[in-house]
Every structure is written in structure tokens, then in C-alpha cells.
């Protein structure tokens, strides 16, 4: 049985909200409240309401695991990490951690603002229980990764938020704690630094250390974590394999799932000419429709009813978008020339769009489905964000990424043909 690194049992955290005054406020506030209380009347209540940020959260994490914590804003993710990091105490429950802990939860967390970057690196290592010689062996790597060389002897209070994040991550990653907590704080850094961080986290996970990673980026969660925990309103919704947990997360709202169906034509999107019946993401070889291996082809299947097309010739077109709302491409079933030239008749039509493997880039893809006619141009049925899926590049096998582990830019990632050969053994003149 694997050794347990983290054990959480019945964790709960309650906050008081809506309090009229702080019982530990300043003297002037206390005096002012005493003077004005008779004027406020006896009906005014100073009582606040209880807000449970976490409710009965329990789990165990074996040593060497990389676990993702996901959920929408306000789900309790950051509160959970603060409890595990011993920044705040739980109202109920207990958490046990076995091993040296490092964390990066908020900008500047753990730094003494009056000390320099150099002094904070040494202090952080000492807090982790490391000998000075151990810290110094890692010192140059930390400074190089954080890219703060010229500001190394400047007080941290003068650092920008980006510099603090870079230094915080470098300290947490390179001083090699046995348990590492990383919150969404990486979003503060620039794109280039985020690439470095994800690459380093992948390396850490493969190195046998225990990592708890909170993120809204499903590609990052799926690439780095074998297991995920979904929180909602402070409670655990599901805890299991990453692809299953991410699927539950994506299914929690419209346009977040790999399959949509309208069994009743009367309530389906459309008009008297065409009404949608279903839109589905169909990965090659089966598997979860919401998680697509970048190397494998997928089909997008659209079924629609036609009632009275007459002289019109309905056609399916699909609009593909990424999470930033950028249109990746639009495609139409006129690529099937036989169908495009055929007359239409009442009945059920199935249109399937084939997308090759190693074509879409890593990330979430949202598909809008439309049934329309041309000449005259008429839109009969449209469903914005009908289905969605996440393309995952696991940095293995014959994917375009190859051995490169950092962020790979671009809205598409085609596998293009190359031919490379050495044409001579002669080195350049002067070498």
C-alpha cells in the first residue's frame, strides 16, 4: 500500500459575514460605535451570517501523486489549500501532512517584504528545514529560473507582482519540498513564465513529489494530473480519474459537454424546414467525448429533421472556437459534393465532420452547430456552444509536441511532413 502524504478528514471552514463592526477594531471605531449605538436603535443587529466555504471535505493523497483541484469561483479551492498549508485553521475536521511542505498560494506569500530576494531565498530554505549548503546548491538555479538577477539584492517590497510570483515559484519548486501546493496564482505571470512553470511542474510530478494543483485551465490539469477533485459550494462533487472529473466539470453548464440531444422535435432548435436532433463529439476508438488525445481523429456528428424542405437544400456548418472566443475555423458539409448536389426530402439527416489527429491545438474547443440554406441564404436552426471538448497533448508518443513539455502556442497544431538530411560533414569555415 502506498504511503499517505496528505490525509484530510471532514474539513470544514466557516466565516462570519455581514458583521456591522470589528470586535478588534481601532479605539476610535470603538468609541464611535459606543456613542452612536443609542441613535441606531435597539432593533439594529450587529450579528453576521455564517458562510461555509468548505463542508465535510475528506480525501487521502498517496506520496508521489499529482492531484488537481478544480471548480468554479467560490467553490472553496483556495480555502482548502490555505487549510492544508496551515495558513488558516479549519472550523471542523483534521488534516495531516507527512513531509516538508512548500506552497505558492498568493503573490508574495511567505516572503519578508523588508528582506532582499537573496535573503528571502535563504530564509525560505531555512523554514523548510534545509541546511545552508543545500540551499546554496540550488541558489543559482532559483535565481536563473526567476530571472531576477539584477534585483537579487533589492528588498522584495519593491518587486512587481510578476517578479514576486517568479521568485515564489522558483523557491517552491527548486528547494524541493516533499509536498507542493500551487494555486491559480500562476495566472499573474507572463505567458513565457507560465510555460516554464508548467514544464517544471511536469518535471516535479514525474520526480515522485506530491503536488496539489489548483487551476481553471483544464488542459493544464489534464496534462499534469492523473487524479482530480471537483469542488462546488465547498463540497466534494467527485474525486477520481482526471478525465472523468473534468467531464463532470464541463457538463455543469451549457456548451460544456460532448453530447447534446433534443428528443422532442417541438422543443428542438429550428423552424419548419429543419430542427436539430443531436450534436455529438465522437472520438476515434471511443473513450470520453470531452477529452480528446491530440493524436487521434474525431468526428462531430449532427443529426437534424427536415419536414418540408421544398426547393431548399439545408446544409450543416460548424463553427469552432477556443476559450478566448477566437474562431478557429468554420466548415460546411458541401465538402461532400454528392450530398451538396442532391435534392432534399423530408426525414432525418446525419452529417459527420471528420477532423484528423494532430490538427487541433491543445486546449478547450467549443462548437456551434448551424443548419442553413444558400440561395436564398436562410438560417433554420442554430445552437451556440452546442458541444465542447478539451484537446490534450500528453507529451508522449508521436504527438507534435514531441519531447517539448512547455506551452506550445498556436490555434492549430498540424503534423506536417518534414525531410531532414545531413548534406555534408564539412563544418563551417573558421570553426
Strand ranges across the sheet with 259-261 = 259-261, 274-283, 298-306, 347-355
Output the pLDDT for position 24. Answer: 47
- Residue 78 grid coordinates: 483556495
- Tens of pLDDT along 276-290? 999 999 988 777 677
In the chain, which stretches have pLDDT less than 50?
23-24, 254-255
- Residue 315 grid coordinates: 446544409
Q: Which of 88, 98, 60 is nearest to 209 (CA)?
A: 98
In CATH, what is the architecture of 4-34+46-250?
3-Layer(aba) Sandwich (3.40)
Name the one residue in this structure whose C-alpha cell is 443548419. 371
CA distances from 431 to 353, 421, 426, 427, 428 (A): 54, 21, 10, 7, 6
- Tens of pLDDT along 313-362? 899 999 998 876 688 999 999 888 888 888 888 999 999 999 999 899 88
CA distances from 276 to 331, 342, 373 (A): 17, 20, 14
Distance between CA atoms of residues 307 and 349, nearest Å: 11
CA distances from 398 to 287, 296, 409, 410 (A): 19, 11, 18, 19
The domain spans of the chain are: 4-34+46-250, 259-392
- Residue 80 grid coordinates: 482548502
Output the pLDDT for position 48. Answer: 57
Buried b / exposed e across 342-371, counting CB within 10 Å, b at 16+?
eebeeeebebebebebbbbbbbbbbbbbbb
The torsion of the CA quartet 122, 125, 126, 127, rounded to 10 degrees, works out to: 120
Output the pLDDT for position 169. Answer: 83
Distance between CA atoms of residues 209 and 179, nearest Å: 6
CATH of the structural domain 259-392, one choice from 1.10.630.10, 3.20.20.70, 3.40.50.300, 2.70.50.60: 2.70.50.60
The number of CA neighbours under 13 Å toward the Cβ of 318 is 24
Output the pLDDT for position 19. Answer: 55
SS3 130: coil
Residue 263 φ/ψ, nearest 5 degrees: -65, -25
* CB 285 within 8 Å of CB 296: yes
Amino acid at each position: 500500500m502506498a504511503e499517505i502524504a496528505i490525509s484530510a478528514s471532514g474539513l470544514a471552514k466557516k466565516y462570519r459575514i455581514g458583521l456591522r463592526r470589528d470586535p478588534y477594531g481601532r479605539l476610535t471605531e470603538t468609541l464611535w460605535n459606543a456613542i452612536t449605538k443609542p441613535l441606531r436603535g435597539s432593533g439594529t443587529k450587529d450579528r453576521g451570517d455564517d458562510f461555509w466555504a468548505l463542508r465535510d471535505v475528506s480525501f487521502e493523497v498517496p506520496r508521489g501523486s499529482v492531484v488537481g483541484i478544480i471548480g468554479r469561483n467560490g467553490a472553496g479551492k483556495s480555502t482548502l489549500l490555505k487549510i492544508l498549508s496551515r495558513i488558516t485553521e479549519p472550523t471542523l475536521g483534521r488534516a495531516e501532512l507527512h513531509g516538508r511542505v512548500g506552497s505558492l498560494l498568493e503573490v508574495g506569500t511567505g516572503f519578508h517584504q523588508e528582506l532582499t530576494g537573496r535573503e528571502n531565498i535563504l530564509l525560505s530554505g531555512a523554514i523548510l528545514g534545509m541546511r545552508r549548503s543545500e540551499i546554496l546548491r540550488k541558489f543559482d538555479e532559483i535565481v536563473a529560473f526567476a530571472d531576477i538577477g539584477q534585483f537579487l539584492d533589492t528588498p522584495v517590497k519593491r518587486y512587481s507582482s510578476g517578479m514576486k510570483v517568479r521568485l515564489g515559484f522558483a523557491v517552491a519548486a527548486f528547494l524541493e519540498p516533499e509536498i507542493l501546493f500551487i494555486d491559480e496564482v500562476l495566472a499573474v505571470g507572463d505567458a513565457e513564465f507560465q510555460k516554464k512553470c508548467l514544464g517544471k511542474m511536469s518535471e516535479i510530478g514525474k520526480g515522485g513529489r506530491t503536488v496539489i494543483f489548483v487551476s481553471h485551465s483544464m488542459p493544464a490539469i489534464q496534462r499534469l494530473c492523473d487524479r482530480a477533485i471537483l469542488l462546488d459550494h465547498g463540497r466534494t462533487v467527485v474525486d477520481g480519474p482526471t478525465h472523468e472529473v473534468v467531464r463532470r466539470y464541463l457538463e455543469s453548464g451549457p456548451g460544456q459537454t460532448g453530447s447534446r440531444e433534443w428528443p422532442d422535435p417541438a422543443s428542438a432548435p429550428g423552424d419548419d424546414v429543419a430542427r436539430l436532433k443531436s450534436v455529438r463529439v465522437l472520438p476515434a476508438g471511443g473513450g470520453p467525448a470531452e477529452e480528446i488525445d491530440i493524436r487521434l481523429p474525431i468526428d462531430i456528428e449532427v443529426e437534424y429533421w427536415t419536414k418540408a424542405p421544398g426547393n431548399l437544400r439545408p446544409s450543416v456548418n460548424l463553427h469552432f472556437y477556443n476559450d478566448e472566443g477566437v474562431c478557429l475555423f468554420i466548415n460546411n458539409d458541401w465538402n461532400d459534393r454528392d450530398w451538396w448536389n442532391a435534392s432534399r426530402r423530408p426525414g432525418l439527416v446525419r452529417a459527420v465532420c471528420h477532423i484528423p489527429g494532430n490538427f487541433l491545438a491543445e486546449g478547450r474547443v467549443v462548437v456551434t452547430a448551424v443548419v442553413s440554406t444558400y440561395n436564398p441564404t436562410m438560417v433554420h436552426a442554430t445552437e451556440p456552444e452546442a458541444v465542447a471538448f478539451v484537446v490534450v497533448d500528453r507529451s508522449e508518443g508521436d504527438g507534435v509536441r514531441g519531447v517539448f513539455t512547455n506551452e506550445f502556442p498556436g490555434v492549430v497544431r498540424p503534423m506536417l511532413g518534414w525531410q531532414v538530411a545531413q548534406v555534408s560533414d564539412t563544418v563551417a569555415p573558421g570553426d
